[in-house]
Amino acid sequence: MPLVAGVDSSTQSCKVEIRDCDTGRLIGRGSAPHPRTSPPVSEQNPQDWWNALSTALTMAVENAEISRYEIRGISVAAQCHGLVLLGADGSVLRPVKLWNDLTSAPQSEAMIAEMGAEFWADAVGSVPTAAFTVSKLAWVAENEPQLMDIAWGACLPHDWLTWKLSGRLVTDRSGASGTGYYSARQATYRWDILERFAGVDQSFHLPEVLGPDTASGRITVQAAQELGLDPEVVVGPGVGDQHAAALGMGIGQGDVVFSLGTSGVVMALSENSIHDPTGMVTGVCDATGRYLPLTCSLNSTKVVDWFRDLLGVDFDEFDRLALSVPSQDRTVTLAAFFDGERSPSLPYAMGILAGLTPETSRAQVARAGVDGVVMGLLEGLDAIEGCGVDTTARVIAAGGGAASQAWRQSIADLLGRPVHLLEAPGATVRGACLQAATLVAGVKIDEMVEAWRPPIVSTTHPKDQTSPWVRESYKELASYRGMDRRW
């Protein structure tokens, strides 16, 4: 049986899984941490990603008790939007600004003010925020112009790791469509945008955009030696993290996914490109040739981690507290803008906790922590549905937070629909494996998605008839803009 390796290089760590190409069966896994970051400045050195990949791969091989030479393909999924600025010799010119680096907020605001939100939505499918690569390029052009004078090109985190593996500077539609300078509808880079806001012309090197079934090539001799892999290993085009998760979960038409990790993402499939001038919905491509309209919050599981630490309880006790609060007692409301916010674009906002009285219980505070994040994500779902996207099939919870019953119950109660958990823990790295398996097997990616589609392992049904005032209280609180970190 041929084996494939998938890589999930996230903000916090690198995970590697080894799976059976034919069945998708997990053979082994490993992980290694990345240096911690803390917005508003969030930067990393990509060599740390490579070192973590090597460590995680070694752990996965040892866990699987296999020879590295049994691995026939490898693909990388990684955090989106980050700016890897390259010199002519292939060096990285500065630390990589990650997706959650907020320092380029003034640049994104200036772009929208100059061109208008409708221009951006029409041109590239999304209205830029501080997260987008185009905003980060503009920041470098304004604050470190000497680097732009010597820059040879730029790429995304998964592009850089694929380059290290294959020797080719490539990307896929999912990654390219989140840069802010690639037209998802026309499938081309917008050099007019790059020239205006980054001061570069078409001599500036950007990754070649490959199709979902197209290999980057074989692994380089150097990479094969460093990782101990067969030189004939095929390397995938790479994929953005949320897009890889959609692959790993095998989502279909009408499914809607709540992905609960460092970021909180709501996403669904679309056959047509989406262009939302409000900026709430990012109209990106998926990893199969379709589109994956999504909204992304900067504030998800880390918010609940903060509440858990504040209350001095472990995960199980936190869930017990949150689940013990009946609907009529959910009077504490949280607007969870701990790191500012991306959707809606509120880079300077701070979190607000309201509805406190002398009788407020620890349980009410715990439930507010979960509900506040979920209600922010429901605002994103409303925006996706407002773009005409079908979300009437399954509601799926994914990511690390999906393991918590409190998270799943909150979504079910507030949405009034059952929430499914799939047999796909680590959906992002599973999706990277699936992309590699597609290339090794020589089939179309839709065939592999169908063959690997995971079953439902549990369903959480709504318990409380959540009163409309719960969401109305949230909307009123979230619309308050007085809590501004620029004070």
Residue from 159, 172, 213, 241 carrying the catalytic annotation: 241
Number of domain units in the chain: 2
Domain boundary among 241, 266, 294: 241
Domain endpoint, select from 200, 219, 241: 241
Identify the CA nearest to 84 among candidates 30, 156, 36, 23.
156
Q: pTM for this one? A: 0.89
C-alpha–C-alpha distance, residues 97 and 133, integer Å: 9
Q: For this structure, is 241 an active site residue?
A: yes
Residues 262 and 302 sit within 8 Å (Cβ to Cβ): yes
Determine, yes or no, domain membership for 441.
no
- Angle of helix 157-166 relative to helix 46-64, nearest 10 degrees, comes to 60
- Round to whole Å and give the CA distance between 310 and 314: 11
The token pair at 105 is 């907020």
> Are 221 and 259 found together in one domain?
no
Q: Which residues contact 281 (CB under 8 A, 6 or more apart)?
A: 126, 274, 293, 294, 295, 343, 380, 383, 384, 387
Q: Are residues 44 and 143 in the same domain?
A: yes
Residues present in the chain in total:
487
- Please tell me whether the peptide bond between 344 and the residue prior to it is cis, using omega within 30 degrees of 0: yes
Q: Is residue 47 part of a domain?
A: yes
Rg value, the chain, Cα: 22
- What is the number of alpha carbons within 13 Å of residue 230 lying toward its C-beta? 15
SS3 279: coil
Type and span of the H or E element at 217: strand 217-218
In this structure, the answer to whether residues 316 and 226 fall within a common structural domain is no
CATH number at residue 209: 3.30.420.40
- Rounded to whole angstroms, the Cα distance separating 83 from 46 reads 11
The residue type at 290: R
Q: Is residue 203, in this structure, part of any structural domain at all?
A: yes
Residue 448 is assigned to a structural domain of this protein = no
Identify the domain containing residue 306 by its residue range.
251-423+455-487
133 & 181 share domain: yes
The last residue of one of the domains, among 241, 265, 292, is 241
Do both 293 and 331 map to the same domain? Answer: yes
Q: Collapsing DSSP states into helix, strand and coil, what is residue 439?
A: helix
Q: Which amino acid is at 407?
A: W
Domain-embedded: residue 428: no
Task: Please say whether the beta carbons of 285 and 174 come within 8 A.
Answer: yes
Is 446 inside any structural domain? no
> pLDDT tens, position by position, for the chain (487 residues)?
799 999 999 999 999 999 999 999 999 999 999 999 988 899 999 999 999 999 999 999 999 999 999 999 999 999 999 999 999 999 999 999 999 999 999 999 999 999 999 999 999 999 999 999 999 999 999 999 999 999 999 999 999 999 999 999 999 999 999 999 999 888 999 999 999 999 999 999 999 999 999 999 999 999 999 999 999 999 999 999 989 999 999 999 999 999 998 889 999 999 999 999 999 999 999 999 999 999 999 899 999 999 999 999 999 999 999 999 988 888 999 999 998 888 888 888 999 999 999 999 999 999 999 999 999 999 999 999 999 999 999 999 998 899 999 999 999 999 999 999 999 988 999 999 999 999 999 999 999 999 999 999 999 999 977 767 788 889 999 888 656 776 5
